[in-house]
Amino acid sequence: MLYLDKEIWEKEIDIKGVKPSIEIVDVEGKPELLQLTLKSIIIKIKNLGDVPLYVTNIPENIKIYVDGEKAPCTVETTTILPNESKEVEIESLAFIKFDELGKDHSLEVEIANKRVEYKIPKLEPELELLEREYGEFLGTSYLDNVTISITNDWIFPIYVKWIRVFINGEEYSALVSTIPGEIEEIGTGETVRLTLKLPPATARRGSKVEIVLGASKLELRA
């Protein structure tokens, strides 16, 4: 401050600006036929700055990435005052293809150039062989049905039609039926018994059969 052209008072002001602290609280994964969709992401934001923090789509200051690739998302406009914390839900169209779930993946959320990561572990359920049923075609014995159990210890539900069947190294489609009833998803912590009906006359005696789900593989000889 000047008085009669002389400086009589001086003060230094430290302006922090926008400074978010971000924590990913929860991620909702929706299993679908060909993919796992990361439908909803709950984050907790604390504004460590000294100006209001605006979380908006327009102008865009929130972004999400899966394995480094930007993915579409929407969020309800939210204002977070200095020293205030709020939980915010991000609606997402990000997805991971079902045949890529056998490895770890990375989900990142970025707000105002601050980025935080959430690790998605690989899908690796417990597979157990329970029963086999054989049939005959033109005098040759074939493996017709395989009954297995699947225990889901993953963080998301499993879509049962993610199961892949290989016979002598070649992939085939198998009809899946579950007990009890027709179940499409296996919830976290659940164990389901299901039967795979193999294509007719494909797995003759001695054939190598592989049942694959994520990173888990069950191998047997027909």
Q: So what's the pLDDT on residue 83?
A: 95
CA 74 to chain centre: 18
- 190 compared with 9, residue with greater pLDDT: 190
- Fold of domain 20-120: Immunoglobulin-like (2.60.40)
| Structural tokens at position 120 | 């998605």
The C-alpha atoms of residue 204 and residue 201 are separated, in whole angstroms, by 7
Question: Using one digit for the tens of pLDDT, what is the confidence trace for 198-214?
Answer: 998 899 999 999 999 99
Instruction: Evaluate whether 131 touches 220 at the Cβ level (below 8 Å).
Output: no
Report the chain's mean pLDDT, rounded to a whole number.
91
Question: Using one digit for the tens of pLDDT, what is the confidence trace for 11-25?
Answer: 554 556 789 999 999
The C-alpha atoms of residue 208 and residue 192 are separated, in whole angstroms, by 24
The C-alpha atoms of residue 189 and residue 74 are separated, in whole angstroms, by 31
Task: Output the pTM of the full model.
Answer: 0.87
Q: So what's the pLDDT on residue 180?
A: 63
Q: Where in the chain is the domain with CATH 2.60.40?
A: 20-120, 126-221
Residue 100 DSSP SS3: helix
Residue 100's φ and ψ, nearest 5 degrees, are -110, 10
Residue 150's φ and ψ, nearest 5 degrees, are -125, 125
Asked whether residue 117 carries a pLDDT value surpassing 90, the answer given is: yes
Asked whether residue 30 carries a pLDDT value surpassing 70, the answer given is: yes
Single-letter residue type at 71:
A
Share of the chain above pLDDT 90, in %: 79
Find all residues with CB under 8 Å of 174, minimum gap 6, and list them.
Answer: 163, 165, 196, 197, 198, 199
Distinct helix (H) and strand (E) counts, the chain = 0, 23
Q: So what's the pLDDT on residue 5?
A: 60
Q: Tell me the C-alpha to C-alpha distance, in Å, between residue 211 and each of 16, 139, 195, 215.
A: 56, 26, 12, 11
Q: So what's the pLDDT on residue 148?
A: 96
The C-alpha atoms of residue 43 and residue 164 are separated, in whole angstroms, by 34
Single-letter residue type at 98:
F
- What average pLDDT score do residues 163-170 get? 95
The CATH number of 126-221, from 2.60.40, 2.60.120, 3.30.70, 2.40.50, is 2.60.40
Residue 203's φ and ψ, nearest 5 degrees, are -105, 80
Compute the half-sphere exposure of residue 20: CA atoms within 13 Å on the CB side of its CA. Answer: 25
Q: So what's the pLDDT on residue 58?
A: 86
